[in-house]
Structure 1
Amino acid sequence: MTDIFGIDLGTTFSAIAYIDDYGQPLVINNPDGLPTTPSAVYFEPESGHVITGQEAKNTAKVAADRVVTLIKAYMGETHSREFDGQQYTPESISALILRALAKHAEDATGKKVERVVITVPAYFGIREREATRQAGVIADLEVVGIVTEPVAAALAYGVKFRQERKTVLIYDLGGGTFDTTILRISPEALEVVAIDGNRTLGGAHWDDRLAGHLNDRFIAETGMDDDPMNDDFFSQGLYEDVEKVKISLSKKERTTLALKHGNHRAQLEITRAEFEELTSGLIQQTKDIVDRTLAAAREKDADLVIDEVLLVGGSSQMPAVTSMLRKHYGWEPQVSDPNLSVAKGAAIYAALSGAEQAGLDPSAKSAPKYALPGQSGEAAPRRITNVLPKGLGIQFLDTAGPEPEHFIGFLARKNAELPLRESLTAYTFSENQTEVAVRVFEQGGEVESRLPSDNHEITPDGGAVITGLPPLPRDSEIHITVVIDAQGLASIEAVEPVSGKRLTMTMSVSVLQAEDVEAARDMVRELVLE
């Protein structure tokens, strides 16, 4: 049986890890000798060659029409890019990143990479998780598990203690996404209490603020008439400098940057205080999400106290993050391998998810037990429980107003503990109704909305339909049950009690159909990866 590798498929950087011969999670360096690889893909014109990683990132501004970055933000959405007459979906572009990581691992270890666990943000719903799985399939990988990034980080962190009981908040600020998770960790269990996040908030937004500010100052100091950001080479260089400035300001109070465009030159000093003022609104957005996560957790347990805060993601190392958490909550955050903990945790999960390792069936529909290695290599059973990342509801008709209006009634709320089963009785709307359409929606935004347009339908077009019913009088009962398993896979059953007619379906929803995945896999196989 081959090894199972863990992959942190990140918005800006990705990594691959496995459990080494000493039973420890090890992140595998790429050919540049670095543990993380930029999640960037460059499509060479008319050649069928694709370049991933740092070389692709180095041309992201200069060849913006040929480079794809931040593709993770579009997983599960219809967002194709066209290169040389071919359409590439977020899943197929992500597959190229996965293929590159797998090749790096094979070259470095001599082990065949065939089976993987891939991480996703905690707030990824059914559609995004399925898109991630499909990216693995397109990359010719068997995806044996999908694990959330905070749980992976907690697994990497959790091997450091065995007998303690703690409630931990994980603050995960990556390059393009942000999420928070509250977990209860004990020798017996790792319990997810509440999650929240924003898929479009990450370190790249701090870069944008700083780049815009430095560009404005450069124009003001040189008296330029034109905007140098219109020059792709200047823009590329500025963004590369901004990354260095951001890192520098995490270590010292001020730094200097020399900029040049044409005959114009300027040396700009920027302080940490100036940078933090520029980006204070972004930090506030993360605080708002922390507040929501705490509120959701305390709805379950009013006495909940956070014992420890764990920072994950490269951008979480900015001093403003620690300052905000200390000032508003009195917390002293712990930094625990923020760039690599997710990949290491995925490797731990991967090693424990193989049937030959821990008897785990990744498709099992009940909460499985995992054996987690301690520092000395001993194993102890630990139960992992999850919560629903997004609310799940059904479309109903509101008849209270002058005209009936569709609305979403949520049966399963965000942060409900999994697995769960919820039932309700609905009623027919019309006289002599002979069919019933049940349309299931997943929460679309960060908070619930009754409007169908704010949510994503996860049943087929037109809904799941019970047909062939006897003519039913208005207000006839329809019994509906929604079941969501420990992996977040939802199924629905609708029963009309008079006829006994029953409809049951499982919802595994994605933008790509099976034939699309196969076609994408064939197309990706044809590309030469460099």
Structure 2
Amino acid sequence: MSEHVFGIDLGTTYSAIAYINDYGRPEVIRNSEGDETTPSVVFFESEYNYVVGREAKNGAIVYRDQTVSLIKRQMGTATQLEFFGQPFFPETISAVILKDLVASARDATGIDTNDVVITVPAYFGLAEKEATRQAGEIAGLNVVGVITEPVAAALSTGLKGDAEKSLLVYDLGGGTFDCTIMRVSPDGIEVLVTDGNRLLGGADWDSMLFDLVAEKFRNQAGLSEDPVDDEDFAQRLLTEVETCKMTLSRKEKASIKCSFGSAVEMVEITRAEFESGTRHLVDQTLDIVARAMEAAQEKSPGLGYDDVLLVGGSSRMPMIETSLHERFGWTLTKTEFDLAVAKGAAIYGQGTAGWVDPVTGADTGAAAALGDVPQDDSQGRTLLIGGRAMTIANVLSRSIGVQFVRDGAHPGQVEEYIGFLAHAQASLPLEIRETPETYSDDTTELSIRIFEQTGEAESETIADNREITPEAGATFTGLPRLPKGSPIEVRLAIDAEGLATLSAVEPRSGQQLTVTATLSVMQKEELAAATKIVAGMQRAV
């Protein structure tokens, strides 16, 4: 592994990439257009050429059939798109964004490395995390770590002093929201609770503002037709709306010049109108914060908050700070918003690559550094940051269960349901042991199906969960005609990275079965094909 590791915030609407500069400080790398953030938008110009960033975003409506936005919201799903006859999964499109970010970073810094750390929302499940890792691999990168955005944000603030303190991180990005509560100290980070909504972010505020401006324009101009149906008008307005939102974060009102045919109007939007129209969105985030706080109190009664960090570009909106203060009475700590996560990922990456001895100034190198400290100990992931061993302990973002059967509501009826063995917010790593019993006489084999919670709350209904059983299945065979009620010893182990392994033992015969949960939505042949496609694509010039 290289001594240099790029830290990447792979965002829903904007992405950023950072590294540790010659002064030992995390620094965000500007793209070829001179911007610190890059729109997470891909335009497929041809079968072999792509455009990522501002230019792609500026044509997103006009060239909607060749442009992809907000792909992060589809990570971990079986969504498939097609461009120029080629199949593209969310992982493939994310790989194009990653490839472009790293290529720009190499050009800007002269650093030739494929090593990266990529961040994900804290509430991402196993499939989404693995999809993110695979996106990096499809892009030809060596993914040395996938860490959560709140942990990266905490690292970017610098863990100073010797006292332990509690942090609440409010992270409102362009397409996702999460709230994470953690304990931090110079010795590391312990995540207590995480919660969020993968389909809520600044893009929803943009959408509401877009509708508000379009409606005002129609009324002022007295138009009988809807100008939004015109692609050129919609594209211009979409660009103007984002600028308008930023202006309303600084001023009490903003104006947008709208033109359609012979109609030309200056449409004025006040901050009060904007905040009133998006109040329901803010309230959704506050409800998630309250839910996370309640869960944290259950784990650590009497827990208080020494700092509340605002993270994510959309957290800049004044309504966010005002609403949090009004509801919870907090004084908030502002971070670098949309740059903090990438910087934290770079710091994390440095921790995996080695460090400079603070006394001698000698570069210990990755092998020596990592040889002295275990990477996955009993408490979580241990890194070397700033010459100090730090442990990062996370929680399970979603509950993990197994399909069971039981008597139904009517005689002779059998009901299938999900019985959860490991619950969301449980500290990682963990190990759960249960002893279920066979349902029928003469049982010689058992099919074991593993599921992950998908909704906000646990549900026993199979359709409300996502199956993560290995692709080849998991069937416990060779059992000695077990009678009904025979015990089966089940052990579920989940490591510090969230990888789940389930083993089962039939005590009478000693028969054993061990399976690792399947994290990938894409099949092996699809991954190979995607890697080949991305490798053959070039940035359009």
- Which one-letter code corresponds to 1:43 in the other structure? F
Supply the distance in 1 between the matched residues of 2:161 and 2:382 (Cα, whole angstroms). Answer: 16
1:399 maps to which of 395, 407, 413? 407
Q: What are the residue-to-residue correspondences of 1:498-509 with 2, within 5 Å?
A: 498-509=508-519
Does 1:149 pair with 2:159?
no
Q: Which moved more, 1:80-89 or 1:512-521?
A: 512-521
- Which one-letter code corresponds to 1:327 in the other structure? E
Supply the distance in 2 between the matched residues of 1:447 and 1:351 (Cα, whole angstroms). Answer: 36
Residue of structure 1 equivalent to 2:380:
367
Supply the distance in 1 between the matched residues of 2:335 and 2:533 (Cα, whole angstroms). Answer: 39
How many residue pairs match? The answer is 523
Supply the distance in 2 between the matched residues of 1:334 and 1:523 (Cα, whole angstroms). Answer: 44
DSSP 3-state at the match of 1:388 = coil
Residue of structure 2 equivalent to 1:51:
51
Residue of structure 2 equivalent to 1:110:
110
Q: What are the residue-to-residue correspondences of 1:70-109 with 2, within 5 Å?
A: 70-109=70-109
Q: What is the Cα deviation at residue 84 of structure 1?
A: 1.0
Q: What is the Cα deviation at residue 363 of structure 1?
A: 6.6
Supply the distance in 1 between the matched residues of 2:140 and 2:496 (Cα, whole angstroms). Answer: 26
Q: What are the residue-to-residue correspondences of 1:219-258 with 2, within 5 Å?
A: 219-258=218-257
1:523 maps to which of 533, 537, 541? 533
* Deviation by residue 1:90-148 (Cα, 9 ceiling, x = unmatched): 11110100010111111011111311111011011111111111101110001111000
Supply the distance in 2 between the matched residues of 1:462 and 1:517 (Cα, whole angstroms). Answer: 17
- Which one-letter code corresponds to 1:22 in the other structure? Y
For the 8 Å contact 2:121–2:148, the answer to whether it is kept is yes
For the 8 Å contact 1:180–1:293, the answer to whether it is kept is yes
Pair 455,138 (structure 1): closer, same or farther in 2 beyond 3 Å: same
Supply the distance in 2 between the matched residues of 1:392 and 1:246 (Cα, whole angstroms). Answer: 40
Supply the distance in 2 between the matched residues of 1:361 and 1:24 (Cα, whole angstroms). Answer: 25
- Which one-letter code corresponds to 2:397 in the other structure? P
Supply the distance in 2 between the matched residues of 1:336 and 1:124 (Cα, whole angstroms). Answer: 22
* Deviation by residue 1:364-399 (Cα, 9 ceiling, x = unmatched): 7762332332xxxxx333221110011111111131
Does 1:319 pair with 2:321?
no
- Which one-letter code corresponds to 2:116 in the other structure? V
Q: What are the residue-to-residue correspondences of 1:465-504 with 2, within 5 Å?
A: 465-504=475-514
* Deviation by residue 1:64-90 (Cα, 9 ceiling, x = unmatched): 111001001111111111111111111
Supply the distance in 2 between the matched residues of 1:467 and 1:460 (Cα, whole angstroms). Answer: 16
Supply the distance in 2 between the matched residues of 1:343 and 1:64 (Cα, whole angstroms). Answer: 29
For the 8 Å contact 1:234–1:261, the answer to whether it is kept is yes
Supply the distance in 1 between the matched residues of 2:210 and 2:538 (Cα, whole angstroms). Answer: 34
For the 8 Å contact 2:403–2:419, the answer to whether it is kept is yes
For the 8 Å contact 2:471–2:518, the answer to whether it is kept is no
Residue of structure 1 equivalent to 2:359:
none
Does 1:176 pair with 2:175?
yes
For the 8 Å contact 1:387–1:414, the answer to whether it is kept is yes
Supply the distance in 2 between the matched residues of 1:361 and 1:145 (Cα, whole angstroms). Answer: 15
Does 1:8 pair with 2:9?
yes
Residue of structure 1 equivalent to 2:453:
443
For the 8 Å contact 1:130–1:508, the answer to whether it is kept is no
Identity %: 48
DSSP 3-state at the match of 1:493 = strand
For the 8 Å contact 2:309–2:333, the answer to whether it is kept is yes
Q: What is the Cα deviation at residue 448 of structure 1?
A: 1.2
Q: TM-score, normalised by structure 2?
A: 0.94
Does 1:18 pair with 2:19?
yes
For the 8 Å contact 2:117–2:346, the answer to whether it is kept is yes
Residue of structure 1 equivalent to 2:357:
none
Residue of structure 2 equivalent to 1:287:
286
Q: What is the Cα deviation at residue 461 of structure 1?
A: 5.8
Residue of structure 2 equivalent to 1:187:
186
Q: What is the Cα deviation at residue 39 of structure 1?
A: 0.5
- Which one-letter code corresponds to 1:164 in the other structure? A
DSSP 3-state at the match of 1:65 = helix
For the 8 Å contact 2:376–2:496, the answer to whether it is kept is no
Q: What are the residue-to-residue correspondences of 1:261-272 with 2, within 5 Å?
A: 261-272=260-271
Q: What is the Cα deviation at residue 222 of structure 1?
A: 1.2
Residue of structure 2 equivalent to 1:511:
521
Residue of structure 2 equivalent to 1:64:
64
Residue of structure 1 equivalent to 2:302:
303
DSSP 3-state at the match of 2:336 = coil
Pair 461,19 (structure 1): closer, same or farther in 2 beyond 3 Å: closer
Q: What is the Cα deviation at residue 407 of structure 1?
A: 1.1
Residue of structure 2 equivalent to 1:376:
none
For the 8 Å contact 1:365–1:487, the answer to whether it is kept is no
Supply the distance in 2 between the matched residues of 1:208 and 1:425 (Cα, whole angstroms). Answer: 50
Q: What are the residue-to-residue correspondences of 1:110-149 with 2, within 5 Å?
A: 110-149=110-149
* Deviation by residue 1:311-369 (Cα, 9 ceiling, x = unmatched): 11000111111011100100011111011000000000001012644416667776233
CA RMSD of aligned residues (A): 1.5
1:380 maps to which of 388, 393, 396? 388
For the 8 Å contact 1:439–1:462, the answer to whether it is kept is no
Q: Which moved more, 1:353-362 or 1:173-182?
A: 353-362
Residue of structure 2 equivalent to 1:352:
351
Q: Which consecutive residues of structure 1, in runs of 5 or more, have no partner in the other structure?
A: 374-378
Supply the distance in 2 between the matched residues of 1:368 and 1:230 (Cα, whole angstroms). Answer: 51
